[in-house]
Structure 1
Amino acid sequence: MLALWLMVAAVSFAQKSRKNAMRDSVTLDNVTVLGKSKTQQLREGALTVNAIDVRSMISSISNLNSLIDHTAGVKIREEGGLGSDFDLSINGMSGNAVRYFIDGVPLDTKGSGVTLANLPISMIDRVEIYKGVVPTWLSSDALGGAVNVVTNRKKTNYLDASYGMGSFHTHKADLNAQYIFRNGLTIRPTLGVNYSKNDYTMKGVELWDETARKFLPQDRKRFHDAYLSLLGQVEVGFTDKWWTDEFFVSASYHQTDKELQTGQVQTRVIGMADKQTKAWSVGARYQKRAFLLEGLNANFSFSHTWDHSIATDTAHRQYDWNGDYIVSGHNELNGRNFKRRHIKRPMTNARAELNYLFSDEHMLNISYALNRTGNNRWDDVDQEFEPANDVLAKHIIGLAYNQSLMQGRWYNTFFVKDYINYLSVEQTDLAFLTNSRDVTGSNTQNNIGGGIGSRFEIIRPLAIKASYEHSVRLPLARELLGNGTTIYANMALKPECSDNLNLGLFGTLQYGQHTFYYEANGFLRFVDNYIQPQIAEKEGMMQYTNEPAVHIKGIEGEVRYNWDKRLQIVGNMSWQDARNRQEYLTNGQPNATFNNRVPNRPWLFASTEAHYSFFDLFQEKDHLTVSADYQWVHWFFLSWEAYGSKSTKARIPTKNTIGANITYSWCRNRYSVSIDCDNLFDATTYDNYKLQRPGRTLFAKFRLLLQ
């Protein structure tokens, strides 16, 4: 409150001394540049950002993951089919070092089961991917970057509905609509449903051959991997009123039912264990320009989420890939006690942001975010399990100063962040694994970070930008407290710290109907207490641990070509070198993994795609687009390079996949149909932890847009 009072006093004094009236704006980034879309403006800002226009591709895509996976410096590795866990890396930083948002609010406020893969596509306008340096207005402790999903904010009535079906008994349905009454009251309902049996063929899994009397590779279909996701949301509010630019209250419900086919390793086959999650959420948000003072803009939001997950693992069975089983006295997931584990994680999220424009060239921003997560857990079956109620709370305060000089050719941002982390722990079970007895009770930690970003346009086709941030990432609840199924808790985890540096150049060349955009970036990441998942292959379980020091360096480049809005070609390549820099262990002995690449991380990959559109082909205002894409990922080791013989070490093989899509729309885009084929030539591919991905996948989609 003191900081807020001081800011209001300062801007009030500055306001009295101003000579010229100033235009209202939320941030300097929103200054309109003629001929450039919002996504292009973001790419050309001071920070390193991938901006993806989703709205123009809604008819042809089925989920965000496939779209994001084709952008420079970003790689998504999924552990199976629809609904499987996935790992997204940005410039070599992955997992929970990357934070996810929807309209600037943490995505998990919708429920722990809501991910990029099951968000309704029709509700999305664009996706912003921040690399290494994250703006203060996101109010996050992201270390490696952030993904912000920006939803549709049309000012007209519309109905956008779609239904699709595809391989492996997959079905997807989305609905997004808006109705504005005469008094300005606006209602926005959203619905998304995803279902799949995920019964794709697993190639070359080891099974006992009675004739040969040994294990031999064979092909078998997955048999216990069905997934159902349901997300419903309604927003009610007003826009463009004297008392608010935008005020909405919202309520949402999300449910997932997920059968578990494997643990964290493919050799452990699960035939009956499953997990259900239900989440209710309520929230409100308020935005106003000229809030109390001319030039002072406000953005407030609040939400509370009731999240309840149940993991059931009570089968007295041990399965193989035939679907056969033997009677067992232990559970399927980790060979321990049978369980029906309940975890309630209520989450409260509050956010406040104030922006003040001293002039068109100078702006001050102050932000505050609270995120409080509970961890109330108990078990209906495991009598040895000790119930507990833990609490993890984070306070993040940010202050930024932005300036635009030389008529917008030179833009700078300076910022500081304060991270406050509170942890209260009750659980003490499996203390030899979770270190819970070492931290039982409550403690508070405080960390300071900050950075700078700058962009300068030398000439119109050439500009340079650089950014730096000393960032701190506080461990997430699932890292500290586990997830009750496949992840053990680790109470001794320390916050990650990193010095992130980006340097890039970019430009746009235009000649007639030909437009060529290029961008190249180099980056350095110096990470202390790097949080990384470790896999226990015997149990198929995972636990997060700290690596004392990891250094990451890399380069990436992307080119885009557009001709007459008919032909678009995009290509990118990324090289990311992440290495362990701890030379000696705590006991003084040399570290065997010193200077090894961090395992289970792609380090060299590329993609390209091409789209060609035909207009007025069969009738007036129709549109046919034919697309193809190619992805390549160099092989990488599953575990540390120094352990074992290189010739026999497990490695994730090189990935080569080709995809194709055809989309036809007519009646001014009112109707559209698309057919998409992923992995056209049915290549055997692996991703996270050498878990096999689906083969050739077909998906057909119909979309209706009324507006």
Structure 2
Amino acid sequence: MKVYLSIILIITYVVTHAQSNIKGRVIDSNQSPIPFINIIVSDTQKYAVSDKDGFFSIEDLKNKVYTLRLSAIGFKTSFQTIDLSDLSSLTLEFKLYKSTENLDEVILKSKSQIRVLNEQPLAISSIDVQLFQNLNIDAASLLDRTNGLRVRQSGGLGSDVNISIQGAQGNAIRRYYDGLPIKFLAAGLDINNLPVNQIERIDIYRGVTPLEVGTDALGGGINIIPKKFKDTYVDMNYQFGSFNTHRPSVNLFYVSDNNVFIGSNFFINYSDNNYKIDAQDFDVETRSAQNIIEAERFHDRYRSYYADFSVGIQDQPWAEELKATIIYNNTYDEVQNGVQFDPVRAAGEIYNTTDGFTSILNYSVKAFNDKLAIATKTNFGVYEEKIKDSTAFFYNWSGTIIRDTNGSPITNERGTDLLGGPADISIDREILLQRTTVSYAFSPSQKITLSNLFIDQQREGRNAFLAEEDDPFRFPASLQQNYAGIEWSAKWFHNKLESVATYKNYQNSADATSLESIATNDAEEDPFERREVSNSYSGGNVALKYTFTDNFFIRSSFEYAYRLPEENELFGNQTTIRSNINLRPEQSDNINVGLFYKTNLFKDKPLAIEINSFYRYQRDRIVLLASGFDLAQFFNEEEVEIAGVDGYIAFKPVDHLKINLAATFQDIRIRKVINEADASLLGTRLFNVPYWFASFDATYSFHHFLAKKDQLTLSYFYDFVEEFSSVREANVTENVENFVPTQHINSLEAIYTTPSKQWNFSARINNIFNDDVYDNFRVQRPGTNFTVKLRYVIQ
């Protein structure tokens, strides 16, 4: 209470002791607002940048005459004289005219915004997805081309995704959608099934995540920002390609004259994922594999539906935005193999589904001359998950049931493809999220932010193959998590030095039934023992940035972070994973140091370079290890040291040609083990994690190709991944199956845009040389394949 009272008193002091203020709006010749206009006050250090609606404000000016300089790329610079001698405030409207140069206005605006984000003290790379709307890729593929980041999947479309940022991976990297954890937004929604045409930009945080976005990310995060519109908009896309893949999507938005709006997004993902892989045959007499064969994946179909509808109002004095959204999402996913690839036997019947509704209420407002900003988001979802795994048969990679020499099927004693016993599981979930963020700018160089995120998960289920008294899913399970913090950001020495300091508090409380007694065969204990766990932890970070010139800065950050155990890690999944009530949160010390430099070679050849170095020391890493026959359990195991460097170069050697090169080297070593039996692992690299990878792309645009104002763009993409071990290095032998081989992937794409910009056509060939491509545990990914995309836009 004392803290809040002090903040209120400070706010009151600042408001009542302000000097002269200028407020205004910048418009173009069509009366449309112009964002990202630089407004500089002569003979002072005061300046402002117009917001997305063209508004700006400059405060605490002395009572005298000033000259304002208004400028931006693509517009003629304007000078305006104002007299504040006898005024405490002044509200003006300025009109700027476009320069005579032929510039692409939309791209320039987006670049200005992205550059502001990329130059924060926190290590952030912001991708302007508006520039990639015509590409035949999804969000996961776009992220995979970013330096320091690697996206790995366990198969084709819809397969599980593992993101690595500067050595941290898995659950240590959190994924968000508009500031909320994406896994709670809709059933089955993730970055690998989200089309780029639904996205405005993607923010990638290396190490520190900002307070208004982050939860318990241990080594970074991904925040996907959905498209936001001010005018009526229609965007229709249809993408199709190899393996019977179809991906239509539609964006619709309408806004009335009084700023009431409705909007809807819809997309479908479907693929048979029947690409060819290298497998082995099965000899029924020897009960072993004999020869390498080329097989087609036969039980790997994936399908997802997503639809949302929004209604609200924007740009009001009492609300920047008030929006209500309802989401429906459904997925169907056949499972061809487990986490590791079995080259002899394939899963032939197991599948899972998700189905659910989510409602979201967003509200944001600014007050006190935009000094105070309040944003709140409330999300409530009801989902049903189903897992079905019950078969009496073994399948080979030819898609047939394995039979003995007499022609009779070889019996599967477990009665399943992958799980420990027959399962027809349904799980009902209710999830509530509520995030509120309040920020107050005491001055143009000082700001305080408070944020709180509360998550409540409730779970209850059933397994049709078990009697009710033997079914652990019938017991409800709950997990509450709360993330709170306060952040202070400031600018010093005429804005040359910027700082961010944050305190974070993590709390979790879990209540569920474990199977510990069953797993240990202890008949004297209650097999369905109720377990509770509740903990609170504190962490924080500091970030600094120093700007030498407009095109050269350095920045660094330090963070002490936690990653709390999740429900399935604490209490298992009631089938194959045992509970571990004593599981501790992961901890990490993160240090990032980077620099950015931009210049022009030969006077007019723009070149940009960014280099980042990173160091992490992770303790109490949560890993899943075998724990008895057909069971696994999460443990706090190794302490891991991560050190590395990543960077990129962007160069435009000639008009219409852009070249980008990104590379990452990360050395991840095990420094401490819990069990003495694992002492041989000390000093070895962490298995199943690439340590050296790079990407290169070159794009050339032909203007006025077939008609005036049309455009043809040709692009070449190259990806490289060095060989890495898929098993613990202390156990590595020369067996080729223990390694993921060196990979070279080449792809081509062509995009044609009509003069009206409404029609866009693109075609892409991935992996043109049909190289073997792998990710996790040598799970093979598609060879040569193609995609075609048609896009129609009305704006």
Range of TM-score over shorter length = over 0.9
Counterpart check, 1:517 vs 2:603: no
Aligned ranges 1:314-463 → 2 under 5 Å = 314-325=390-401, 326=409, 327-334=411-418, 336-383=420-467, 384-387=470-473, 388-428=475-515, 432=519, 440-463=530-553
Question: Which residue of 154, 157, 163 corresponds with 2:232?
Answer: 157
User: What is the rounded CA distance, in whole Å, between the counterparts of 2:653 and 2:360 in structure 1?
Assistant: 44
Distance 1:569 1:252, change over 3 A: same
Higher mean C-alpha deviation, range 44-53 or range 415-424: 44-53
User: What is the rounded CA distance, in whole Å, between the counterparts of 2:192 and 2:48 in structure 1?
Assistant: 29
User: What is the rounded CA distance, in whole Å, between the counterparts of 2:632 and 2:755 in structure 1?
Assistant: 52
Query: What is the letter of the counterpart of residue 300 of structure 1?
Result: T
C-alpha contact 1:386 1:429 (8 A) present in aligned 2:
no
SS in 2 for 1:597: coil
Partner of 2:650: 560
Aligned ranges 1:163-242 → 2 under 5 Å = 163-208=238-283, 215-242=290-317
C-alpha contact 1:369 1:396 (8 A) present in aligned 2:
yes
Distance 1:657 1:416, change over 3 A: same
Question: Which residue of 545, 549, 555 corresponds with 2:639?
Answer: 549
Partner of 2:686: 598
User: What is the rounded CA distance, in whole Å, between the counterparts of 2:528 and 2:662 in structure 1?
Assistant: 47
SS in 2 for 1:40: helix
Query: What is the letter of the counterpart of residue 371 of structure 1?
Result: I
Counterpart check, 1:90 vs 2:165: yes
User: What is the rounded CA distance, in whole Å, between the counterparts of 2:48 and 2:168 in structure 1?
Assistant: 28
User: What is the rounded CA distance, in whole Å, between the counterparts of 1:682 and 1:294 in structure 2?
Assistant: 55
Counterpart check, 1:680 vs 2:768: yes
Partner of 1:253: 328
Partner of 1:15: 15
Query: What is the letter of the counterpart of residue 65 of structure 1?
Result: A
Unmatched tracts of structure 1, length 5 or more: none
Partner of 1:667: 755
* Post-superposition CA distance 1:434-485 (Å, at most 9, x none): 9998994322111111111111112344311101111111122343345577
C-alpha contact 1:500 1:523 (8 A) present in aligned 2:
yes
C-alpha contact 2:177 2:225 (8 A) present in aligned 1:
yes
Counterpart check, 1:634 vs 2:722: yes
User: What is the rounded CA distance, in whole Å, between the counterparts of 2:672 and 2:227 in structure 1?
Assistant: 46
Higher mean C-alpha deviation, range 559-568 or range 240-249: 559-568
Partner of 2:363: 286
| TM-score with structure 1 setting the length | 0.93
Partner of 1:497: 587
Give the CA deviation at 1:102: 1.3
User: What is the rounded CA distance, in whole Å, between the counterparts of 1:254 and 1:29 in structure 2?
Assistant: 46
Query: What is the letter of the counterpart of residue 726 of structure 2?
Result: L
Query: What is the letter of the counterpart of residue 243 of structure 1?
Result: W
Counterpart check, 1:696 vs 2:784: yes
Counterpart check, 1:310 vs 2:396: no
C-alpha contact 1:110 1:254 (8 A) present in aligned 2:
no
Give the CA deviation at 1:40: 2.0
Higher mean C-alpha deviation, range 541-550 or range 515-524: 541-550
SS in 2 for 1:592: helix
* Post-superposition CA distance 1:387-427 (Å, at most 9, x none): 22211111111111111223332211111101111111223
- Which structure has the larger Rg? 2
Give the CA deviation at 1:53: 1.2
Give the CA deviation at 1:7: 3.3
SS in 1 for 2:290: strand
Distance 1:462 1:156, change over 3 A: same
Partner of 2:66: none
What is the number of residues matched between the two proteins? 703
User: What is the rounded CA distance, in whole Å, between the counterparts of 1:332 and 1:22 in structure 2?
Assistant: 71
Higher mean C-alpha deviation, range 619-628 or range 590-599: 590-599
Give the CA deviation at 1:8: 3.4
Higher mean C-alpha deviation, range 397-406 or range 438-447: 438-447
Distance 1:214 1:608, change over 3 A: closer
User: What is the rounded CA distance, in whole Å, between the counterparts of 2:654 and 2:147 in structure 1?
Assistant: 24
Report sequence identity in percent. 27
Query: What is the letter of the counterpart of residue 279 of structure 1?
Result: G
User: What is the rounded CA distance, in whole Å, between the counterparts of 1:545 and 1:319 in structure 2?
Assistant: 32
Partner of 1:270: 347
Query: What is the letter of the counterpart of residue 95 of structure 1?
Result: G
Query: What is the letter of the counterpart of residue 284 of structure 1?
Result: L
Partner of 1:51: 126
* Post-superposition CA distance 1:89-121 (Å, at most 9, x none): 000101111111111122123224101011132
User: What is the rounded CA distance, in whole Å, between the counterparts of 2:779 and 2:627 in structure 1?
Assistant: 15
User: What is the rounded CA distance, in whole Å, between the counterparts of 1:4 and 1:264 in structure 2?
Assistant: 49
SS in 1 for 2:243: coil
C-alpha contact 1:343 1:484 (8 A) present in aligned 2:
no
| TM-score with structure 2 setting the length | 0.83
* Post-superposition CA distance 1:305-354 (Å, at most 9, x none): 11210001122222111222233242324363211111222111000101
Higher relative contact order (CA 8 A, sep 6+): 1
Distance 1:131 1:622, change over 3 A: same
User: What is the rounded CA distance, in whole Å, between the counterparts of 1:561 and 1:617 in structure 2?
Assistant: 24
Query: What is the letter of the counterpart of residue 426 of structure 2?
Result: H
SS in 1 for 2:433: strand
User: What is the rounded CA distance, in whole Å, between the counterparts of 1:683 and 1:85 in structure 2?
Assistant: 22
Higher mean C-alpha deviation, range 207-216 or range 668-677: 207-216
Higher mean C-alpha deviation, range 197-206 or range 424-433: 424-433
C-alpha contact 1:22 1:360 (8 A) present in aligned 2:
no
Question: Which residue of 598, 604, 613 corresponds with 2:701?
Answer: 613
Distance 1:316 1:218, change over 3 A: same
User: What is the rounded CA distance, in whole Å, between the counterparts of 1:613 and 1:660 in structure 2?
Assistant: 14
C-alpha contact 1:305 1:347 (8 A) present in aligned 2:
yes
Distance 1:363 1:212, change over 3 A: closer
SS in 1 for 2:519: helix
Distance 1:353 1:567, change over 3 A: same
Unmatched tracts of structure 2, length 5 or more: 26-34, 37-45, 51-70, 74-110, 402-408
* Post-superposition CA distance 1:585-624 (Å, at most 9, x none): 45x6772211111111011111111111111111122111
SS in 1 for 2:502: strand
